[in-house]
């Protein structure tokens, strides 16, 4: 039941695509689609009404009659995209209103937006990436470290630099830490959210052992503690895919700024 709850929450509250939800919950794309189709077919949205128990939800979604809900007519996304780019005054909401007028049983606005974004992602892979304000926070460790000298023993240890970048504004947070373990990772993420005064809907870490236990192209094993932390903040963790540098281009740029303007400037200072 938790998986059903998370599918509905991530779809309605965060507006994630089926693929993103499947990646985050480590489940099949078809399972996500089935739950969302069943919920739409019975008019079940999010949040779940307080009067309903999860047993009620399960009975509603999986009754004895397994007839599938009637498929809704989809827009011609090529036309939607062309119209949206034709004039500045044309908005996605206007195009949805026109579509809805012609198809009363069609998609609701939130679903219309989700399907459109999913279609856009399938366009040319070199297409310029755009990020909505508050949509994504990219996190990673810088490649360079900071030497720290123990004043008592003279031993030199290396401090790691955690970097978090907001997708739309490039607003950047950086903090040094002596370890890269899970405890530090959670604490650093918490500090970043406090610095940003809020949480983005999607957290995009690199495939680090602290945040992601097993790196896999389509179904990374998200560290349970990190995943639960994201859920607490109303967010979801979707790691950057291995060998897909564009997935983490924002934080890579943030790391370059931190290394070039901060670490380089303090290179001759002894800590």
In order of their start, the domains of the chain are 2-61 (1.10.10), 77-121 (no CATH), 136-263 (3.30.420.10)
156-196 confidence digits (pLDDT tens) = 999 999 999 888 788 889 999 998 888 889 999 999 999 99
Whole-number Å distance between alpha carbons of 218 and 241:
7
67-115 confidence digits (pLDDT tens) = 444 556 788 888 888 887 776 677 888 889 999 888 888 888 888 888 8
Q: Which one, of 206, 186, 183, 202, lies nearest residue 194 by Cα?
A: 186
Whole-number Å distance between alpha carbons of 233 and 137:
13
Asked if 269 and 159 touch (Cβ cutoff 8 Å), the reply is: no
Per DSSP, the three-state class of 212 is: strand
pTM for this predicted structure = 0.52
């Amino acid at each position: 039941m938790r998986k059903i709850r998370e599918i509905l929450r991530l779809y309605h509250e965060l507006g994630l695509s089926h693929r993103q939800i499947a990646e985050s919950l480590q489940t099949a794309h078809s399972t996500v689609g089935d739950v969302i189709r069943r919920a739409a077919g019975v008019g079940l949205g999010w949040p779940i009404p307080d009067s309903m128990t999860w047993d009620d939800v399960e009975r509603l979604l999986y009754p004895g009659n397994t007839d599938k809900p009637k498929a809704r007519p989809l827009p011609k996304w090529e036309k939607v995209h062309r119209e949206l780019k034709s004039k500045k005054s044309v908005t996605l909401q206007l195009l949805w209103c026109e579509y809805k007028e012609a198809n009363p049983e069609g998609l609701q606005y939130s679903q219309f937006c989700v399907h459109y974004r999913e279609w856009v992602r399938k366009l040319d892979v070199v297409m310029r990436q755009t990020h909505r304000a508050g949509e994504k926070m990219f996190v990673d460790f810088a490649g360079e470290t900071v030497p720290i000298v123990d004043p008592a023993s003279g031993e030199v240890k290396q401090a790691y630099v955690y970097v978090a970048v907001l997708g739309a504004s490039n607003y950047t947070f950086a903090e040094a830490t002596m370890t890269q373990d899970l405890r530090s990772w959670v604490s650093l993420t918490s500090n970043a959210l406090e610095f940003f005064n809020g949480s983005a809907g999607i957290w995009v870490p690199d495939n680090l052992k602290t945040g992601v236990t097993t790196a896999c192209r389509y179904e990374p094993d998200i560290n349970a503690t990190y995943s639960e932390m994201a859920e607490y903040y109303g967010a979801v963790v979707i790691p950057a895919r291995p060998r897909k540098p564009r997935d983490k281009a924002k934080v890579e740029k943030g790391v370059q700024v931190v290394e070039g303007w901060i670490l380089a400037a303090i290179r001759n200072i002894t800590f």
